[in-house]
Chains A and B, each alone.
Chain A
Amino acid sequence: MCLAIPGKVVELLPEYENLGVVEVGGVRRKIDLGLLADDPAAPGDWVLIHVGFAMSKISEESAAEQMRMLAMLGENEAAMQEIEGYGMAEREPPGGLEPS
């Protein structure tokens, strides 16, 4: 819960309110981007995710650093488990979003 997980915004999903597809370590999930309203996220941006919601935009360098930190703290598996567990991707729009 206290993990801040870095991910890259891959695309915005205008058909869902505030949701976008974010990729973390090769796994794609829908993440709520609505709390970035002050400085909206666009594809290509890196974000820090808390419990399914992007809470801040960060640089690519900070994202890599945060991922390394999680690995060093032994939390990377928990982080991936959390990402994979997000059920907001349960119902995919037509065309699908196969995990890459």
Chain B
Amino acid sequence: MKFVDEFRQPELIQKTADEIRRLVDPSRHYRFMEVCGGHTHAIYRFGLKDLLPANIELIHGPGCPVCVLPMGRIDDGLAMAREPDVIFTAFGDMMRVPGAQGSPLEHKARGADVRIVYSPADALKLAQNNPGKHIMFFAIGFETTAPSTAVTLLRARAQAIRNFSVFCNHVTIIPAIRAILDSPDMRLDAFIGPGHVSTVIGCRPYEWIARHEQKPIVVSGFEPLDMLESVVMLLRQLRDGRAEVENQYKRVVPWEGNRAALKAIGEVFELRPYFEWRGLGFISQSALRLRDSFADWDAERRFQSPGVRVTDPKAAQCGEVLKGVLKPAQCKLFGNECTPERPVGALMVSSEGSCAAYYNYQHRKEQLVSVGSGV
């Protein structure tokens, strides 16, 4: 309970943890998946596992967009960066993600024009300021970032800015949850639903999980108390034999989501028939691509992307970790060849990747303990 003292409302946290203890059935094992990478990060940072009974297992879900992107997509994007007069733009999170031919940062070192942008709108602005260049934006993210890419594309079209294109890697969360539920080696009791994705999509899209899969799901905030409250809500549902969508994060997430954002997504994007996810394989209708009316701004059509398929480095077990079959530390490379400083797999790059989160908090803590006990 290392971090309890620095939490806000420590008494309430203790009370909620006690409530969890009262609610658990000691004779059963609970497997809850937190879908969102932000939750994974928070769980490790706050040491939440220490507050939960041992028979509640938290499984880390696929909600880290950098982590689920197959390596070949990075190589595809970087192939475009090598075209003449192209400026490759991406969020900072992408820069150190390794492709088979190196990361964007390594391409920059080799002379490609690779730049960090913090917003797709800034990539478009770069296009306006550099009429002699073509600016390609490597778009990534779930429904939290897809609306911003959509609005940027609507603006590019409205202003007829033609030296700009988007390499679209936006993915959607619901089909990934469905694929996990369909996976035979994955047995889950309930879900902690993503917080910020839900500000866009709302709570309604999760209803099938409750109705058809009979799994409770609680959309949760990110504070320790939020997540503990969400666990209480899930345990109550399981105790009462209910399977419902509940919203613990009402102060931020409206039930209906953000209609303007959903409208922008619908105007610009359509579902791909299928898309490959690292660890989960091909999932039908799980990603977005640009509609035909935006073909001129679609980097995949402009550059005829090579469609590289690259298998992960053999020894790395990113896929198994992503599916929750292996814990980060069970991967052969974890902490040795693969560290946040020198990542082999994407789960070690992003702070929301379960390997980086585990390494930065749990692993270091354990090392401190073992060093301490040796003295």
Q: Which residues on A are within 8 Å of B, measured CB to CB?
A: 1-2, 4, 17, 32, 34-38, 48, 50-53, 55-56, 58-59, 62, 65, 68-69, 72-75, 78, 81-83, 85-88, 90
- B184-202: CB near A (< 8 Å → 1, else 0) gives 0000000000001001100
* Residue B8 CB within 8 A of the other chain: yes
Instruction: Please choose the segment from B98-106, B111-119, B288-296 that sits at the chain A interface, where 4 or more of its residues have CB less than 8 A away.
Output: B111-119
Tell whether, in the assembled complex, residue A50 and residue B144 are in contact, meaning their CB atoms are under 8 Å apart: yes
CB distance from A6 to the nearest CB of B (A): 10
* Residue B145 CB within 8 A of the other chain: yes
Contact of A65 among B37, B147, B223, B350 (CB under 8 A): B223
Q: How large is the interface on B (under 10, 10 to 19, 20 to 34, 35 or more residues)?
A: 35 or more
* Residue B45 CB within 8 A of the other chain: yes
Q: Given A58-B252, A73-B42, are A1 and B199 neighbors across the interface (CB < 8 Å)? A: no
Contacts of B6 in A (CB 8 A): 72
Contacts of B125 in A (CB 8 A): 87-88, 90
Q: Given A34-B260, A35-B258, A53-B119, are A48 and B252 neighbors across the interface (CB < 8 Å)? A: yes
Tell whether, in the assembled complex, residue A52 and residue B120 are in contact, meaning their CB atoms are under 8 Å apart: yes
A1 to B119 CA separation, bound complex (whole angstroms): 9
| Nearest neighbor of B195 in chain A, beta-carbon distance | A4
| 30 pairs from A and B in contact (CB 8 Å cutoff) | A1-B65, A1-B66, A1-B145, A2-B37, A2-B64, A2-B93, A2-B350, A2-B352, A4-B196, A32-B151, A35-B264, A36-B260, A37-B260, A50-B144, A51-B91, A51-B118, A51-B119, A51-B148, A52-B118, A52-B121, A55-B147, A55-B200, A56-B253, A72-B46, A73-B41, A73-B45, A74-B45, A86-B119, A87-B118, A87-B119
A87 to B200 CA separation, bound complex (whole angstroms): 24
Contacts of A35 in B (CB 8 A): 147-148, 151, 258, 260-261, 264
* Residue B351 CB within 8 A of the other chain: yes
A82 to B148 CA separation, bound complex (whole angstroms): 15
* Residue B61 CB within 8 A of the other chain: no
* Residue B212 CB within 8 A of the other chain: no
| Nearest neighbor of A30 in chain B, beta-carbon distance | B121
A32-B121, A87-B118 known; 16 other A-B pairs, CB under 8 Å? A2-B350, A2-B352, A34-B151, A50-B145, A51-B91, A51-B118, A52-B121, A52-B122, A55-B196, A55-B199, A56-B253, A65-B8, A73-B45, A74-B45, A74-B351, A88-B122
Contacts of B65 in A (CB 8 A): 1-2
A56 to B258 CA separation, bound complex (whole angstroms): 8
Q: Is the interface of B mostly helix, strand, loop or mixed?
A: helix
Contact of A88 among B38, B91, B119 (CB under 8 A): B119
Contacts of A34 in B (CB 8 A): 151, 260
Tell whether, in the assembled complex, residue B260 and residue A50 are in contact, meaning their CB atoms are under 8 Å apart: no
Q: Is the interface of A mostly helix, strand, loop or mixed?
A: mixed
A81 to B260 CA separation, bound complex (whole angstroms): 28
Tell whether, in the assembled complex, residue B196 and residue A2 are in contact, meaning their CB atoms are under 8 Å apart: yes
- B245-281: CB near A (< 8 Å → 1, else 0) gives 0000001111000111100100000000000000000
| Nearest neighbor of A82 in chain B, beta-carbon distance | B118
| Nearest neighbor of A52 in chain B, beta-carbon distance | B119
- B36-49: CB near A (< 8 Å → 1, else 0) gives 01100110011000
The 5 closest A-B pairs by CB, nearest first: A52-B119, A85-B118, A37-B260, A87-B122, A53-B148
Contact of A51 among B145, B200, B351 (CB under 8 A): B145
Contacts of B252 in A (CB 8 A): 48, 56, 58, 62
Most buried by B among A32, A74, A83: A32
Contacts of A51 in B (CB 8 A): 91, 118-120, 141, 145, 148
CB distance from A12 to the nearest CB of B (A): 16
* Residue B140 CB within 8 A of the other chain: yes
Tell whether, in the assembled complex, residue B118 and residue A69 are in contact, meaning their CB atoms are under 8 Å apart: no
| Nearest neighbor of B254 in chain A, beta-carbon distance | A56
CB distance from B77 to the nearest CB of A (A): 15
Contacts of B37 in A (CB 8 A): 2
CB distance from A69 to the nearest CB of B (A): 6
CB distance from B36 to the nearest CB of A (A): 8
